[in-house]
Structure 1
């Protein structure tokens, strides 16, 4: 990106870019699927989904009037967000609910921006969110993970060509959409074996009286729905069938 003033930077951010070729969008989706599906790769890339997960907890906690204490990200790709406030009630429910749905909803928001051609705005929004989250990190590994992720996104945003930025943005959106689905299945697999007694779904069950399995179902519906709608926004005409004229 080559800008000489804040005004020029602002116009770059709010401006639109040309629609990328369909092969680029579909290729980015295939690459994102490779980053999510194989377990060895997922062990590394899942860190990005954990950032979105814990960031969702933190954002909703603040929006519902809870006091945010801090966020920790761990090397095993787990994380924890600590907030203080009423132990029950809507604020606590929405805070617990936010984690598993946040990656998918962030991906959906990204798909809306990318589909409308606002690639630069999407990338700068990612940089801003990572910078804000950095203020609440309370452990070294979390700090290192966020700095590395933020630096990578910033480098693409500032130095890469428009085509590279578009491909990267498409990949990131697909990754969040796909990455929002797999943790839901992993959650239920762990719950079925008694390995996640304090999971978000089980905390929601204690708060609301609704069984944890139904909350997992809600997570899954949101993740799958976001993926389908996001795919439609990214590739709006991929299901169009040409009908013969009369």
Structure 2
């Protein structure tokens, strides 16, 4: 293939001199270097972001410990049920978006859930449970870097929860789990101008991301559950459930890392600046 030659012409119609071309190239190189430097600076955490990263790390360690300690693990049970609600919501909303109809959603106290659907595209609805809950977790982790973003995220979650209650209106565990989560989020709005809400949203985001990855590895890679979403997906579209489990877990981890990096790039305000912004966005404070 012949090389492409780009000729620059000045306004007077004459080709530029070598000096002009060299200057243009140097300017372009300088612009590229500046863009790279800005990108690196955007990901360089501020003091407030370093605190947030430390809290995320503490959440990861705390969740990992509570997950495996006898009796104490029940502390996480309500949040596990909440993440399962996210999982089932992922199935349900994807079914609706691909032309299907949701018949019902139900949660199992033994940490399971079922979404009954008609129609929709199973190539999208089957992975949407695992990947949907991990994507929600990444978005909540992203929002957890900022108070106002956490407020907005809690409103969006509230709308999703209303849909979940509608689809699961015959299941009291689903209704109770969702209402408890809504009560927690609403209560946090009134503590220090919703500063507490940021840490709750961040915890739910980290929990959802970790639970999705662990659930995929536990069900599909380590234990090889025969009735999982991945086993059905493998039967319909080829491959093995373990293979799809590895792929979905990598995607889930990518979502989590992406949420953290996006938070670092987007929210550079200090803690005091965030509190001031929060006072002007649906202000609430009781304590």
Question: Shorter-chain TM-score category?
Answer: 0.7 to 0.9
Structure 1 partner of 2:108: 74
**Structure label with greater radius of gyration:** 2
2:171 is the counterpart of 1:139: yes
| Counterparts of 1:111 and 1:170, CA distance in 2 | 5
- Matches of residues 97-246 of structure 1 in structure 2 within 5 Å? 97-115=127-145, 118-137=149-168, 138-157=170-189, 159-161=190-192, 162-187=194-219, 188-191=221-224, 196-236=225-265
Structure 2 partner of 1:45: 79
Which segment is superposed worse, 116-125 or 132-141? 116-125
| Counterparts of 1:56 and 1:36, CA distance in 2 | 24
Structure 1 partner of 2:55: 27
Structure 2 partner of 1:244: none
Deviation at residue 46 of structure 1 after TM alignment: 1.6
| Counterparts of 1:185 and 1:200, CA distance in 2 | 13
| Counterparts of 1:146 and 1:36, CA distance in 2 | 24
Deviation at residue 151 of structure 1 after TM alignment: 1.6
| Counterparts of 1:126 and 1:32, CA distance in 2 | 22
Larger RCO (CA under 8 A, 6+ residues apart):
1
Unaligned residue ranges in structure 2 (runs of 5+) = 1-46, 267-287
Give per-residue Cα distances to partners, 1:193-224, cap 9 Å, x unaligned.
Answer: xxx21111100011112222221112111111
Deviation at residue 20 of structure 1 after TM alignment: 4.6
| Counterparts of 2:231 and 2:88, CA distance in 1 | 17
| Counterparts of 2:60 and 2:162, CA distance in 1 | 24
Which segment is superposed worse, 73-82 or 220-229? 220-229
Asked whether the 8 Å contact 1:25–1:167 carries over to 2, the reply is no
Asked whether the 8 Å contact 1:115–1:233 carries over to 2, the reply is no
Deviation at residue 56 of structure 1 after TM alignment: 0.3
Q: How many residues align?
A: 210
| Counterparts of 1:170 and 1:234, CA distance in 2 | 11
User: What's the RMSD between the two structures over aligned residues?
Assistant: 2.3
Deviation at residue 170 of structure 1 after TM alignment: 2.2
Unaligned residue ranges in structure 1 (runs of 5+) = 1-18, 238-246
Deviation at residue 81 of structure 1 after TM alignment: 0.1
| Counterparts of 2:202 and 2:48, CA distance in 1 | 9
Give per-residue Cα distances to partners, 1:149-173, cap 9 Å, x unaligned.
Answer: 122122223x222321222222222
Normalized against structure 2, the TM-score is what? 0.66
Deviation at residue 25 of structure 1 after TM alignment: 4.3
Secondary structure class of the residue paired with 2:167: coil
| Counterparts of 1:81 and 1:125, CA distance in 2 | 21
